[in-house]
Amino acid sequence: MTSVPTAAAAPLTQDTPGFAPKATAGLRPLVGLTRPQMIEALIEAGTPEGQAKMRATQLWSWIYQRGATDFAEMTSLAKGYRAQLAEHFRLDRPEIVTRQVSNDGTRKYLLRLSGGHEVEAVYIPEEDRGTLCVSSQVGCTLTCTFCHTGTQKLVRNLTPEEIVAQILVCRDDLGEWPVAGQRPPERRMLSNIVLMGMGEPLYNFEGVRDAMKIAMDNEGLSISRRRITLSTSGVVPNIARAGAEIGSLLAISLHAVRDELRDVLVPINRKWNLDALLKACREYPRLSNAERITFEYVMLKDVNDSDADAKRLVQLIAGIPAKINLIPFNPWPGSPYERSDWDRIESFAEIVNRAGYASPVRTPRGQDIMAACGQLKSATERGRRKASDIAAEAAGGQVSPAPARLPPAHPGAPGRGTAPFGAGARARGMLQAP
């Protein structure tokens, strides 16, 4: 069996040069600990064993139900015990380096973590929900050629604390913690979580699992597992495990219906091809008509958007309770692709719909602040590099091992989709300065 990287095997890096650690550095974080881990940590810090479970319950409520960031706020605990906790633990949040708000209300946060590394998280408000797009890694190892994050090399996995903290920061910003004497609002502003930010969540399985257990805890953040979606590019050995140990909804970053094209767009396909991926989907533990798999499909002009591609897609997923999320490509500086024309997207969606699958076209959100799907990348990393360098890598340099030419979009269509990466974008002046 192919080994799968885990949090324990993740690459480790030194702190960012010149970064000054916080005053709380060296203290153990309480955020991100599971209940058993918190009980154990409290005992090690001097809490009597017979009181540790009760104290953990109290702390859990203060941290995840009231949003406490200082032990001094925890008035149900004795003053001396609060001081004892402050000597051993910390509750601080990641630093918000930048907070951008789109014309459509989307919010993008650049967060600085302990050690100086940075990640992005995105909040998307809608009429019936509020969704937070959460990162699981600093950078990414997958180098998908249409994704901006893939041009930023993997630095490390995020800890459960750093994943959960993205949720806490967003709730802080939304002002969504309860206020004494005020009735809570009828509807949550942050109601849904998608693990679709920076990184591949199934390459950080333990960190993501522990963080989501906290998010789903009825006495914690209390977000239903059916309101959490984990998106993977296809780490096949961990898909069934995700269903059994996390239990969230599953989304698959598909983006191509032929192995030779998916090898280019989503290079992990070279390790686990379409047959292996779809077999894992059919065997997903929680698969049902009530809990369908979402197949994400980014629409790339003259690459994967033909009627033949749509018909092949329907054939591939036959028998799988599913919906197809069609994602208009969101350009980024140096991106080598273009968005499919709207009439082409509509034609593709119609074929999928006629086959009995819902195929909503995702409305691009947050494009004016580079917060849309596939655009995330830490701003400081973007600032260090020229757009021309990013484009060169995406066209076949270090970031993408793909060949210079895409395979034909479908048999019998010579010339379609065979232009060199970036040729069409350059001709139309789509390359943007960072």
Q: Tell me the catalytic residues.
A: 120, 373
> Which two structure tokens, joined as six digits, stand for 396?
């076949």
Which of 12, 58, 366, 430 has its CA nearest to residue 197? 366
Straight-line distance from the first to the last Cα atom of the chain, in angstroms, rounded to the nearest whole number: 42
- Let me know: does 8 contact 21? Beta carbons within 8 Å: no
Q: How far is it, in rounded angstroms, from Cα 398 to Cα 393?
A: 6
Asked if 434 and 378 count as a contact pair (C-beta separation under 8 A), the reply is no
Cβ atoms of residues 234 and 201 within 8 Å: no
- Residue whose pair of structure tokens reads 């798999």 in the numeric block: 293
Q: What string of H, E and C letters represents the secondary structure of 182-200? A: CCCCCCCCCCEEEECCCCC
Q: At residue 269, what is the residue type? A: N
> Phi-psi category of 404—alpha, beta or left, where left has phi over 0 and alpha has psi -120 to 50?
alpha
Nearest by Cα to 297 from 334, 331, 263, 265: 265
Residues 6+ apart with CB under 8 A from 302: 338, 409, 416, 417, 419, 424
Gap between the Cα atoms of 79 and 91, Å rounded: 17
3-state secondary structure at position 85: helix
Largest Cα span, the chain: 77
